[in-house]
Amino acid sequence: MRVKNPNVVILGAGYGGLMTTVKLQKSLGVNEANITLVNKNDYHYQTTWLHETAAGTIHHDQTRIPLKDVVNMSKVNFVQDTVVEIKPDEKKVKLENSELDYDILVVGLGFEPATFGIPGLEENAFMINDINSSRLIREHLEHNFAMYHNEEEKNPARLNIVVGGGGFTGIEFVGELANRIPELCEEYDIDKAQVRIINVEGAPTVLPGFDPELVEYAMNSLEARGVEFITGALLKEAKPESIVYEKDGKQVEIPTLTTVWAAGVRANSIVEKSGFENNRGKVEVRKDMRAPEYDDVFVIGDCALIWNGERPFPPTAQIAIQQSATVAHNVKALVQGHTDLESFEFNSLGTLASLGHNDAVGVIMNDRKIFGWKATFMKKMSDNRYLLKLGGVGLMLKKGKFNFFY
C-alpha cells in the first residue's frame, strides 16, 4: 500500500549512497518524501583516491568532501551515526545512538577488508579502508623514515614496505609509493637504494585477468622506479616485525614494520548480520536493484551482487555510480506509487589503473588499450567527471585533478 510522505532512508554516503541522495534531492519535492541520509562521518571520501592519501601523495582533505557541500540539508535530514543493524522485517535501522523507521531503504554501506584467515594480518597489517586508516599508513611511513637515523642500531625493517596483493588496489598503491619514496628519502637523509617496496601476489602475474601487454607495461614502469614483484607467492603470516610468504614450496621471511594488505574486500558485514539472503556477504539484487525478499529495500555498490554471465561484476565505483541512477529512479517511482521499475544495465566505460600520478594503464571504449600520459589523462578526467556530476563545476575545480602533464 502506498504510504503518504514516506521515510526514505539511505545508509552510507559513498559513491552509491551519496549519488542516490543527490539525485533524489533534485527529483523529489519536500512534500513527497522525507529523505534521511546516515553516514559515519560528516564527509564523503573518494575511496578510489585512498591509496594516494595512504602513500602521502595527496592530502586527505583533497580526498574528502564535506557532505554539506553537496547535500541540500534543508531537503535531506542528515544523521551522523554508525549503522549497527538493519531489521528488514520491522522496517527499522539500529544506529549506535538511535533507531530509524523507514518505508523505503537504500543500503550503500560499502566494503570491509577480507583477510581470509591469514594469521596476524588483522593485528599487524595496515589496510586502506577509509580516510583514517589511510592517514595512519602515511604517518607510519613517515615515522619509520624519521626513526631510521635516530636509533643506535639501524633497523632495515623500517625501510622495507610490503604490499600484499597485486590487484588494482595493490598496484595503484605501489605506484604512489614509487613516487613518494624518493621524496621521503630526500626529506629524511636516506639513501634510496636502502628502501624496498615489495609487492607480493599469489597469482602468476600481477593485475590478474588484465591484458598481458598492459600488465607488462605496468610492471616495467614500476620496476624502473624500484618496485620488486614476488608473484606466485602466498602470504602465510604477518608478524609484528616481518611477513612470511610461501613460493615454490619454500617459506621466506622478510623483515618489515610496514605490511599493507590490499588483496581482498568483502561487502560490509552488516548486510549478512542483518539476515539478508546473500552470496558471500553480498545481496544478489533483482534487476531493479531491490533485495530478493524485500520490495522496500534497495542495495547498491559493493554490498550488491550482479552477474555478468558466469561471473559477478567486480565491485567498482563506476558500477556504484551507475546503479545510483536506477536506484534513485526506482525509489522515486515507489514514492509516487508506480509499480513498473527500471532495470539496471551496466555500461562499461573502461578500466584504468594508475601507476602513480604520472603513469597509468587501461582499456577504454571497446577494449582499446591505452597507457602512459593518455591513460593518466583519461583517469584524471574520469575522476573530475565524477566530481562534476556530484557537485557541479565548483566542486570539480576545488577538488579535481588538473596536474595532467607532470
**What residues line the site for ligand FAD (CB under 6 A)?**
12-17, 38-41, 47-48, 50-51, 82-83, 108-111, 128, 130, 168-169, 172, 268, 270, 301-302, 315-318, 320
Active-site positions read: 172
Q: Three-state SS for 25?
A: helix
Nearer to ligand FAD, 171 or 341 (CB): 171
Please, what is the minimum distance in Å from the beta carbon of residue 315 to ligand FAD? 4
Cα–Cα dist 266/120, whole Å: 19
| Residue placing its CB nearer to ligand FAD in the complex, 27 or 41 | 41
Separation of first and last alpha carbons in the chain: 58
How does 2-41 read in b/e, with b if 16+ C-beta sit within 10 Å? eeeebbbbbbbbbbbbbbbbbbbbeebeeebbbbbbbbee
Which cell goes with 295?
520490495
In DSSP terms, 165 is beta-bridged to: none
Which CB sits closer to ligand FAD, 18 or 190? 18
At CA 80, angle to CA 76 and CA 83, rounded to 5?
A: 105
**Least distance in Å: CB of 356 to ligand FAD?**
13
Position closest to ligand FAD via CB = 14
For ligand FAD, the closer of residues 50 and 218 by Cβ is 50
Give min distance, CB of 112 to ligand FAD, in A.
8
Sign of CA dihedral 199, 205, 208, 210: positive
CB of 49 vs ligand FAD, minimal distance in Å: 7
Residue with smaller CB distance to ligand FAD, 39 or 242: 39
Q: Mind spelling out the 3-state secondary structure of 49-101?
A: HHHHHHHCCCCHHHHEEEHHHCCCCCCEEEEECCEEEEECCCCEEEECCCEEE
Provide, rounded to whole angstroms, the least separation between the CB of residue 319 and ligand FAD: 7
- Note the Cα 396 to chain centre separation in Å: 20
Hey, what amino acid is at 79?
V
The answer to whether residues 123 and 129 touch, using CB atoms and an 8 Å cutoff, is no
